[in-house]
Chain A
Amino acid sequence: MARRVGVIGTGQSKYEDHRNDVNTPELVREAALAAMSDAGITPGDVDAFVIAGASGFPEEISFSENWIGPAIGASGKPLVRVHAGTNVGANATISAFFQVASGAFDVVLAASYNQRTIEDFRFNSMDCCDPLWDLGFDYPQSTLAGLQARFYLSRHEGKITEEHGAMVAVKNRKNAVLNPCAHVRSEITVEDVMNSSEVASPIKVLDCSRVCDGAAAIVVADEMKARKLNPAPAWIAGVGACSESRSVPYVDMAYPESCVRAAQQAYQMAWVYEPASDLDTVEVHDTFSFQELIWCEALGICEPGTAGKFLELGGSMLDGELPVNPSGGVISTNPEGASSMVRQIEAAMQVMGKAGDHQVPGVRRALAHAWGGAIQYSVVTVFSSGL
């Protein structure tokens, strides 16, 4: 029987376009110490560590855990590195979850980070493709998102419009103003988005998140330790992860099966039957505005083609029936390797009632979603206030 696991502390570093004031271990330490302090523990109380960075290239370091570990108290302790795309931070938390659920360790800290050291960061995109197939095109993530958005718009023509994408950006940027941790904290209008320059049609500059440097950390513990250290931990009620074919062509970009299946796994584990009513808030990985709508449909929160209407009626607003990205989402804060863990942190904070100005009242269950790679790898985590 797996043990119950709770989130007992979370931490985020300061986010900036470039964190040139610290080196990478110092950046991760900033978030890790914040998470340990939030949990009321010191590095000596942590049994094992998980470190996650999005890609090897931008760091020019193959064994980042060896460099970062000693800065967060991992010297002489079990330490693993998780490697994946932009959902790597969420995977790190899930790895920590399994380490505690299995009974191997009682308290595990997972940390993720992003610090761009490479001048031409666009190289990151080539990690996503099949090198034997489409490396010759070397398309960036935004191109993939443009194709995805057009595919989605075309499938639901008349129901989903470009303005719906803009409305997502407007909503999330507005929420971010209330979140002191967010990177970009200024409001925009639908006109601003629609008039911003084209990146990869139909995606425009303001439909995109702005990548920043930063780190995040999360401390999980078994039931006994969690209850002792935190009066109201956020229990990890369900986790799910699913990867489809690595090559883009197999993926239904408007309704990715990986997202559907990751959600099913997590829902089954967390006893979620009706996502729209069983969940009180969700944090989805909206690197590009349209993606929030697509994920909401694939997560079963809205029927396919209805996420636009749901948004229009205010359902996903901070005061709506099911607030989506109350923190402001990735579109407001995108420390790539850490963004997916930030979704989990925000969802956990909602459950713990510690989200401050962007707290949704009475959250009992919250979902965090993450995507990575070529839209083909999804991770879903459900947090609950009760067991």
Chain B
Amino acid sequence: MSDLAKKVEHQSIIDMNESFRMDGKGFKLWVGFLLVIILVAMAAYIYQLTSGLRVTGMGNYVSWGMYMTNFVFFIGISHAGTLISAILRVTGAPWRRPITRMAEAITLFALMIGAPMVMIDMGRPDRVWHVFAYGRLNSPILWDILSITTYVSGSLMYLYVALIPDLAIFVDKVKAPWQRKLFQKLSLGYKNTPEQEKILNKALGAMCIVIIPVAISVHTVVSWIFSMTLRPGWHSTIFGPYFVVGAIFSGTAAIITAMIVFRWAYGLKKYLTMVHFKALGKLMIALNALYIYFTVSEYLTIWYGRHEVDHRLMEVITSGIYGKMWFFMWAFCLFLPLALTVWFVMKKTEKYSLTIMMVATILINIGMYIKRYLIIVPTMMTTYIPAEAAGVKISYMPTVIEWSITFGGLAMFMLLYTMFSKIFPIISVFEIIEGIHQEGIEKVGVEA
């Protein structure tokens, strides 16, 4: 090992050990804050279980609402890991190295929050086992269960295998005895010998290729829940690729947000540098433009075609509260972040750089949430026979219960992510060392 690599490794061990510390005041406050939100959500869910879904704003016309939006949103976030880790590994982008762990962890935890959202939405969660007892492959829900469980197990394996060398590095370097014991067990006797490294890289190389089609299938199938129906706005061939691009877009935005937060909270300036943010920024510009393109295609075809029911759907989307949300999404979640990201990438100085990106990426994810909401709710409001003709006024407004559970899901996601970073090194040290050897420290983007 070169002196430079040694120095980086030594420094990163110190820095990671610092990030494992759980006695900070800020950390305790943060976890306490999240726990309060989670407890409120749990109480809300228990209330919903006993009283039924009538405590939500859903009704017989808008029979899917915020929970389904959460499902699509979190499954979308989960695509961060695939992009950064798998695609960039396959294409051999050296700057991916410090980010991979963070991205893979996001994938796993987002899936762990997203998938149960469907169960929260179920009228009879006590009958979940029916899906296994009577499941039929005709139903896109079964496709979802198959692809999401594959994706969960795949990304868990991927995260774990890529973690093994770091566990081996850290096993005798961490201070807490329980952590030492845990790392000892999980590292499976890995010692970073060249032979082991070869096997591990082979496994990772194969897994990162396999995980890409799985990830694409996941969000395609999520979109098919909607597009397999005959409802206006849903029954669309564009939905598969549209959802996949949307997922990668929001996932990448989420990873940038997470990077900025970790960089600030754990002082990871040396590992997450402008090299990474600029590279991701360029990627974001491409994804942002691509998503705008898809969104224009979606709405323009619906609007221009003037199919009677599509036309009414466009009226719902562009008027009232949905209209406000729609225009907000266009202006502040698609075009403004695009402008901000372009500005950031062109900027010569570092000043305010990360603030700009933080604002842009958070706006993107707010917009992506709104977008999924606007896919689900207005379509459910647009029936072929307008319900008004029967004297029914369709409306949907999420209740406190739905908001609580939604924020609870978000808090749970953040808690899982935080705890992960407190137990395992959030920066992939072995990959950085490997990168310094193979590509040089400049390309990896870390500072010695």
Query: Do A and B share a complex?
Result: no
Interface residues of chain B, those whose CB is within 8 Å of chain A, are none
